[in-house]
Amino acid sequence: MTVTDHDSEDSPLGGRGLDEETAEAVLEDAIADGPSIPFGSDSHRPFDGEGGERGPELSDTEPEPEETLSQPLVDERQLGREERLALREAYGRTRTFFKSRPERYRGLQRRLKQARVRDTYDEYLTDSARFAVIAAVVAGIAANIVLVVLGVTGRLDALEPLFAFSGRARDAFLTNPLLAGALFVPLFWSLVAGGAVWVGRNYYYPRSVVAARRRSIALNLPYAVTFMYALSSGGMNVVEVCRRLGDSEEVYGEVANEFDVVVREIDLFGNDVLQALDNVRTLTPSDEFRRFLDDLLGVLESGGDLETFLEEESEGALDNALEEQASFIETLGTLSEVFVVAFVATPLFLIVILMVVSFLGAETVELIAGLVYVVFPLAMVGFLLVVDLLSRPYEEPTASLAADGERTIETEQIADDPRFPPYQQSKRETGLRAFLSDPSRAIRRRPVLSLGVTIPAGIAVAGLGIWGGFVEPTVSAFLGAPLPTTTGLVVAPLVTATTPLMILHERERRRTELITERFPDVLSILASANQMGVGIVDGFELVTRWASGTLAEELRRVRNDVAWNHDLTGALLAFADRLNVPQLTRTMTLIAEGSRSSGDLHGLLEIAAANTRAQAKLARARRREVGSYVAIVVIGFLVYLLVIVMVSASYLTPIAELAADSETTAAESPVSLGSIPVETYELLFLHSALVQGFGSGLIAGKLAENDVLSGLKYGLGLVVLTVVAFFLLV
């Protein structure tokens, strides 16, 4: 009998191919992995416990896919000794252990499939066990190395707190610390490392991937439904619509991946579109997408009007997107409050307490320096990474849409058109050649490239300050004159290196916002002109007279491209690539794909205009809501700066004056004020404010616009404000 490999790499519900060295092992694998077999055609009937296919009497009572996923087969719990030996020979002991107990890992199986992990659950668990063992061994070796170092340096007493959990353990450590440490410490850290890897890989990672996919589906579903509506309105059948959507992963994210599974179900397993959609509905992690597929299946099974259904869904999906965005904005609000506690209140509390403790004779200067130069910057970087991780599913996609290769131009009148030579020149200049021919234009479109010029300029500013004798790059100079030295060696180079980047980035961001706001009107004008019988070339000519700036220039290029190449789809995709505006990527994909299947260009442009307006509405709602969070971050830093300046001016300065008067210090002060490193504290306070100011600005930009570079304007402003405050008040 031929056994079908239902867990092949291309299977949307399974993982990599299985070992078929022995027929018995493969049959038992089919039994163990029965729930992963796709449902639909007769060739995919499940197996019975004896190795044969189930007969008609059993196929009539075949469970639903969801029921099969949640209820293990009875055969899976009754593997005999010979069957286990066959599995062990084929897969090894570890994998056989997991494979013979599938009922324990139903939840993990489902999460792996929802996360689109291609490994089967037993392969995944086997890899997890291997990684956990490796982590445990590495942790044990590292613990032994640390133990040896502590023994050589005579610092084994540092391990005593680890043995405080038991009186006997503590007595054993005090009697023979090296032996007790060698027996306990490596074992402890091995268990911690191995357990962390096991829990992280089997519990945290699948859940986090599924949650990220769920958020991505919720964000992209409204635009994907609009895309489906645009294609179906042109007469495209539902299978081809699914295929086009599945090919647009860069534009529609995880929704495209879900429909790609539908297409693979149809192409690889021979299922009809209803069965394919039902299988995807069973495993999708998004409740909203499952509801949409339920309604879609109802329309297809009843023979309803698909176009009307998709139109209604596209209108209602915008409300769902607004709700999803509102939930995310609430998360940002929580993060802004966490920022105030973690980066304003906590640093102030630690610095002031450690400073007061040092006045009583404790050595805390190194600890404060570690907080200022290591802990605070790393904490801010970690906070930015957390915000980025939470915001990633909500990022607008950008993709390269234009097809490769040169399109043939056959129009004879082109030779006399003065606009054609510059057009051809711009098409030939790509990549490095385009950058060399017009560096300023390339830098304007990609502001990060400006760092190649501004970073050397910032270094040159610091070098000029040192060469001219204005500042000295020494520790004594920082301690003696912290503000001038820090300004010349740190602040001035930082401002020089990042100010051009900030200006160019803000200019590009405003250009993007302007295009996004005005483009729906462009599409509406094109739709109205087309409805009145105006050709597409003349329609673009009409729009260019109304538009201005970059948008008018790019629309003029689209007009010329369509007129000379007679390729509307290619011209629109190239237009989207040149603009590089994320919100327009979906719109251009919708128009380009729709124009291939529909002759009703007016209706298509109206749909695209509505879609673009919906995206602009979401963007405006976000900017309106998150403005208060930027204020929270900025006000939090201002509080930090005020306290630091007040402590430095009202506390450290009088102490320095008292310490200068040795008689007063000796007679009246209970503490030796001369031993207090006032200059060091002033330097640390200044640097802590600069670190907090620049980091707070970047965090404000990330919270407000999901872009760190957008925070440069806040960061540089707060840095300059810090320098001015210390100059005037300290």
What average pLDDT does the segment 41-50 reach? 36
Concatenated DSSP letters of 188-210: HHHHHHHHHHHHIIIIIHHHHHH
Bridge partner list, 53: 47
Nearest to 400 by CA among 256, 557, 577: 577
> CA-CA distance, 214 to 116, in Å (whole number)?
12
Most confident residue range from 214-218, 377-381, 586-590, 625-629: 377-381
Report the pLDDT value the prediction gives residue 534, as an integer from 0 to 100: 79
Grade residue 418 by pLDDT with cuts at 50, 70 and 90. Answer: low
Give yes or no for a contact between 501 and 454, defined as CB atoms under 8 angstroms apart: yes
Alpha helices in 532-652 (DSSP H): 536-546, 549-565, 568-579, 582-597, 601-647
> CA-CA distance, 364 to 599, in Å (whole number)?
76
Report the pLDDT value the prediction gives residue 198, as an integer from 0 to 100: 93
- The class (CATH top level) of 511-613 is mainly alpha
* CA–centroid distance for 335 within its chain: 16
Residue 270's Cβ-count burial label (10 Å; 0-12, 13-18, 19+) is: middle
Report the pLDDT value the prediction gives residue 70, as an integer from 0 to 100: 35
* CA–centroid distance for 699 within its chain: 15
pLDDT higher than 60, residue 432: no
Grade residue 72 by pLDDT with cuts at 50, 70 and 90. Answer: very low
Instruction: For Cα atoms 533, 534, 539, give the angle at the middle one, nearest 5 degrees.
Output: 150
* CA–centroid distance for 703 within its chain: 14
Give yes or no for a contact between 547 and 514, defined as CB atoms under 8 angstroms apart: no
CB count in 10 Å sphere of residue 542: 16
CB count in 10 Å sphere of residue 305: 11
Report the pLDDT value the prediction gives residue 416, as an integer from 0 to 100: 56
Give yes or no for a contact between 339 and 632, defined as CB atoms under 8 angstroms apart: yes
pTM over 0.85: no
**Could you read off the pLDDT of 574-632 as tens digits, one per residue?**
888 777 777 777 788 888 777 776 666 777 888 888 878 877 777 777 777 777 888 88
pLDDT higher than 70, residue 95: yes
Report the pLDDT value the prediction gives residue 419, as an integer from 0 to 100: 56
**Could you read off the pLDDT of 644-701 as tens digits, one per residue?**
998 888 887 777 666 666 544 444 555 555 567 788 888 999 999 999 999 999 999 8
With the C-alpha atoms ordered 250, 252, 257, 260, is the resulting torsion angle positive or negative?
A: negative
> CA-CA distance, 695 to 705, in Å (whole number)?
16
Give yes or no for a contact between 258 and 280, defined as CB atoms under 8 angstroms apart: yes
* CA–centroid distance for 580 within its chain: 19
Residue 37 DSSP symbol: S
Grade residue 29 by pLDDT with cuts at 50, 70 and 90. Answer: very low
What average pLDDT does the segment 87-114 reach? 85
**Could you read off the pLDDT of 239-261 as tens digits, one per residue?**
999 998 988 888 888 899 999 99
Q: Give SS3 for 47.
A: strand
> CA-CA distance, 550 to 559, in Å (whole number)?
14
**Could you read off the pLDDT of 316-345 as tens digits, one per residue?**
777 777 777 778 888 888 888 888 888 888
Q: Give SS3 for 82.
A: helix
Give domain limits for the chain: 68-208, 219-321, 511-613
With the C-alpha atoms ordered 593, 594, 595, 597, is the resulting torsion angle positive or negative?
A: positive
Element (H, E) at 72: none
Sequence-ordered list of residues with C-beta below 8 angstroms from that of 290, at least 6 positions apart, any chain: 281, 284
Buried b (16+ CB within 10 A) or exposed e, 380-406: beebbeebeebbebbebbbbebbeeee
> CA-CA distance, 181 to 178, in Å (whole number)?
5
Sequence-ordered list of residues with C-beta below 8 angstroms from that of 22, at least 6 positions apart, any chain: 86, 89, 90
Bridge partner list, 47: 53
**Could you read off the pLDDT of 140-151 as tens digits, one per residue?**
888 888 777 777
Report the pLDDT value the prediction gives residue 97, as an integer from 0 to 100: 85
Concatenated DSSP letters of 123-138: HHHHHHHHHHHHHHHH
What average pLDDT does the segment 380-392 reach? 87
Q: Which amino acid is at 290?
A: R
What average pLDDT does the segment 150-160 reach? 66
Sequence-ordered list of residues with C-beta below 8 angstroms from that of 456, at least 6 positions apart, any chain: none
Q: Give SS3 for 31.
A: helix
**Could you read off the pLDDT of 287-315 as tens digits, one per residue?**
889 999 999 999 999 888 888 898 888 87
**Could you read off the pLDDT of 186-201 as tens digits, one per residue?**
788 888 899 999 999 9
Nearest to 420 by CA among 563, 240, 594, 237: 563
Give yes or no for a contact between 176 and 159, defined as CB atoms under 8 angstroms apart: no
For residues 351 and 161, the model is more confident at 351
Going through 218-372 in order, the beta strands assigned E by DSSP cover none
Grade residue 415 by pLDDT with cuts at 50, 70 and 90. Answer: low
Sequence-ordered list of residues with C-beta below 8 angstroms from that of 88, at least 6 positions apart, any chain: 96
Report the pLDDT value the prediction gives residue 376, as an integer from 0 to 100: 92
Give yes or no for a contact between 113 and 124, defined as CB atoms under 8 angstroms apart: no
